[in-house]
Amino acid sequence: MNLRKPLILTVVASALVGSLAISSVSTAVAGAPGVSASEIVLGMQLPETGPASPGYNKVDDAARAYFDYVNSKGGVYGRNIKLVVKDDTYKAGLTISTASKLINQDKIFAFFGSIGTQTHVSVIKDINRRKIPDIFVNSGYSSFYTDPKKYPTTFAGLGTYTVEAKILGKYLLEKYPDKTIGVLYQSDDFGRNALAGLATAGLKFEARKTSASFIAGTQGSLGLASQIGQLKANGVDIVIIAAVSSATAVAYATAAQLGYKPTKWAVISVGADATTFQTILGSKGVPAATSAAMLAGTISASHAPAPGELDDEYIAAFKKINDDFNKGADTRWDNNVLQGMNAAYLATSALMGVGKKLTRKKLISYLEKNGSKLSSAAFAPLGYSKNSHEAFTGFWLGEYDASTLLVPIDGKRVVYTTDSAGGAVTVSNYKRPAISADALPKVA
């Protein structure tokens, strides 16, 4: 170790590196942070790169496309919506830094549509203590939303994994009473939330026999051979997957390699995007026709129409906006794009609903009071109230056809609804309002 050299010189040199990186301090804006006469700044964190990024890295481009469309029509009360996006690579250590950057340098008004359960856990407490709205979070982890006293500014952008798993579990139990049902889940809150929902529906699994787990993010490097092999060895007929899309693709590919053909695959919706599935398998040399055939017959759920339902009025409108405004690297129309655009549509509705005098407090209060009345492409309303910040409270079940389109089981769309607790699963009677001709929300 060298003490002869002046340590102070090194310190000064380090300072130079540091000071070069300092961004100019933003000028203070009157009123709410992130809101000026001409702009509303929203911030989003998601894995743009890294093993969890495939598919999800399209959500921000889709949302920005919708906001750009709104801006082209005059914005929200003359204010353009600007979306600032930070790549946290799905690592919580980085999420903490990027959140600080969004708050302190980009001076955002609100967090919008952040993706990732375990990453959002690292910042949710800080965001809430700063009273910054944290809207339409792209995580179905119920603990974020079921106790608004704990996280008063956080609102869901997805139905909870528990609700979806309850609906899926009930269906599978009734439809396949004699089959052995198993589960492959990522051992994080997403996976455990889904397990809890399945358990509420009456589906229990035996560890290391009918249930197999893996650490989220390791599916790419370590593969899922032991997990799939275990399900095969134990004669599991129906495999439920509660994992991200990249893991679903790896699971199917591994099963094909092992010659394992379960009677049915059932995949929780966030892990069942057909485009992502095909893209990942395509990168492993699997032709599109083969991957489509692999996916065909898979059961999944959705709160919104399938992206392939081109005659649906919301799908048609959003797809056109995607074609005209999306400047992302991959603009192919799929479920990720649809979700990003639908969340942006809802965010625009909420910002319009608050009115000209936009503040953080008013936005939160508006969502609690009026959120359940906001319409979107979803066939279920938002479950927002003073006691819950859960998003879509209903799902319909479908099966992928040969062209990777999710079509309602038995040809008829039935939307089921339930809660994240022990409530019963019932058929929803919600009627989705029509979209306006210009695809802009009409909020009183």
Partner 1 sequence: MSKSISLKHKVIGRRSTLLAILLFLFFIALSKQFDPYNQAQLANIATLLIAVLSITLLTGASGQISLGQGAIMAVGGYASALLVTRLGYSMWLSFILAIFVSALFGLFLGLAAARLSGPYLAGTTLVMALAIPSIAVRFEPFFGGDVGINVDYGNPPRWLTSFVGKISIEEWSLYVVLPFTALALFAVLNLSNTRAGRTWRAVRDNEVSAALAGINIGRTKVIVFVCASGLAGLAGALYGFRGLVGPSVYPTDLSLTLLTAAVIGGLRSIGGAIFGTFTVVFLPDLIERITSTFEVPGAIANYLPGLAIGTLLLLTVILNPSGAAGLNERIHHRIKKTISKSGGH
The residues that touch partner 1, with contacts defined as CB under 8 A, are 1-3, 5-11, 13-15, 17-23, 25-26, 48-49, 85, 87, 90-93, 96-97, 100-101, 103-105, 117-119, 121-123, 125-126, 129-130, 186-189, 192, 215-217, 328-329
**CB-nearer residue toward partner 1: 191 or 371:** 191
Instruction: Give dist(CA 278, CA 258) in Å, integer.
Output: 19
**CB-nearer residue toward partner 1: 96 or 256:** 96
**CB-nearer residue toward partner 1: 207 or 434:** 207
Half-sphere exposure at residue 379, Cβ-oriented, CA atoms within 13 angstroms = 21
341 close to 62: Cβ distance less than 8 angstroms:
yes
Q: Which of 131, 162, 130 is nearest to 145 (CA)?
A: 162
Rounded to a whole number of angstroms, the minimum distance from the CB of residue 62 to partner 1 is: 14
Please report where in the chains the tokens 């010189």 appear, as a residue. Answer: 9
**CB-nearer residue toward partner 1: 188 or 419:** 188
Instruction: Give dist(CA 57, CA 331) in Å, integer.
Output: 11
Rounded to a whole number of angstroms, the minimum distance from the CB of residue 6 to partner 1 is: 8
- Coil, helix or strand for 411? helix
Rounded to a whole number of angstroms, the minimum distance from the CB of residue 100 to partner 1 is: 5
Give the DSSP letter of residue 434: P
Backbone angles phi, psi at 232, to 5 degrees: -65, -45
CA 342 to chain centre: 11
**CB-nearer residue toward partner 1: 119 or 254:** 119
Rounded to a whole number of angstroms, the minimum distance from the CB of residue 401 to partner 1 is: 32
Q: Which of 317, 309, 430, 438 is nearest to 374 (CA)?
A: 430
Element (H, E) at 46: strand 39-46
427 close to 415: Cβ distance less than 8 angstroms:
yes
**CB-nearer residue toward partner 1: 172 or 184:** 184
Rounded to a whole number of angstroms, the minimum distance from the CB of residue 237 to partner 1 is: 28
**CB-nearer residue toward partner 1: 134 or 188:** 188
Rounded to a whole number of angstroms, the minimum distance from the CB of residue 27 to partner 1 is: 12
Instruction: Give dist(CA 393, CA 381) in Å, integer.
Output: 6
Beta strands in 98-201 (DSSP E): 110-112, 134-137, 154-156, 181-186
Please report where in the chains the tokens 């856990």 appear, as a residue. Answer: 121
**CB-nearer residue toward partner 1: 134 or 312:** 134
Rounded to a whole number of angstroms, the minimum distance from the CB of residue 154 to partner 1 is: 14
Rounded to a whole number of angstroms, the minimum distance from the CB of residue 94 to partner 1 is: 9
Instruction: Give dist(CA 250, CA 406) in Å, integer.
Output: 20
